[in-house]
Amino acid sequence: MDAQVSVSEGPLDVTGYAGWRRGATGSDIGSERWAGASVSWWLTKQVALTFSGGRYPSEILQGLPSGGYLTLGIRIAAHRPVVPRVRSIGRPLYQIDDGGGTLRFHLPDAETVAIVGDWTGWQPTPLQRAPGGSWTLDVDLGSGVYRFNLVVDGERWIVPDGVPAVDNGYGGQSGLLIVP
């Protein structure tokens, strides 16, 4: 079980995470706790001082030990990232069933979601709110590679995390949808 919280206040972006796991048989083997935090102090719109530290657990399947870390660095960005409401995607983006294809994104806090992409002529197409914080769009796409961006709450175009991205030729990135 783990959780992560991100807060943005003034020039500071703070992210904290913590987790706990218990061995499957109730033994101590595999039972661990971990936590960490990262603080970014934006000195200008493009430059931030970042400090992070914490502890990560071992990886039993890979035989990797647990450990701690402490880092101090300078972050340089084209612009300060807005703490977005887009969550990672825990399931395939594009699902094909008997009735055709469905694009699905998990965006529980969004008010409006639209998609722009190769198959929409890069014109916004609204997604429909679905139970559980999902947003969906029924669309039949043939096998291939499609570029797209999400427009969440009318904000600038976003590539959801967990989606491969590619340089869009205009100084930003587009997400890639691989349809087998």
Range 126-165, binding other proteins (CB under 8 A): 143-145, 147, 149-152, 156-162, 164-165
How many chain residues interact with other proteins (CB under 8 A)? 75
178 binds other proteins (CB under 8 A): yes
Residue 47 in the binding site for other proteins (CB under 8 A): no
Using the contact rule CB under 8 A, the part of the chain among 20-28, 41-49, 129-137 near other proteins is 20-28
Stretch that binds other proteins, among 23-31, 41-49, 133-141 (CB under 8 A): 23-31
- Does 62 help bind other proteins (rule: CB under 8 A)? yes
72 sits near other proteins (criterion: CB under 8 A): no
CA distance 178 to 117: 13
- Cβ-based nearer residue to other proteins, 15 or 136: 15
Residue 149 has, within 13 A of its CA and on its CB side, a CA count of 17
Beta pairing, strands 47-56 & 134-138: unpaired
List 21, 129, 136, 141, residue binding other proteins (CB under 8 A): 21
First to last CA, the chain: 32
CB of 66 to other proteins, least distance (A): 10
91, exposed or middle or buried, with CB in 10 Å at 0-12, 13-18, 19+? exposed
- Nearest CA to 107 out of 124, 123, 82, 127 is that of 127
Compose the 75-114 pattern: x for residues touching other proteins by CB under 8 A, - for all others. Answer: ---xx-xxxx-xxx---x----------------------
- Record the tokens describing residue 45, joined without a space: 């719109």
Residue type, 37: A
Which one of 39, 123, 128, 131 is in contact with other proteins (CB under 8 A)?
A: 123
State which of residues 52, 112, 125, 136 lies at the interface with other proteins (CB under 8 A).
Answer: 52
Give CA–CA dist 84/26, Å, rounded.
Answer: 38
* DSSP state letters, 1-19: -EEEEEEEETTEEEEEEEE
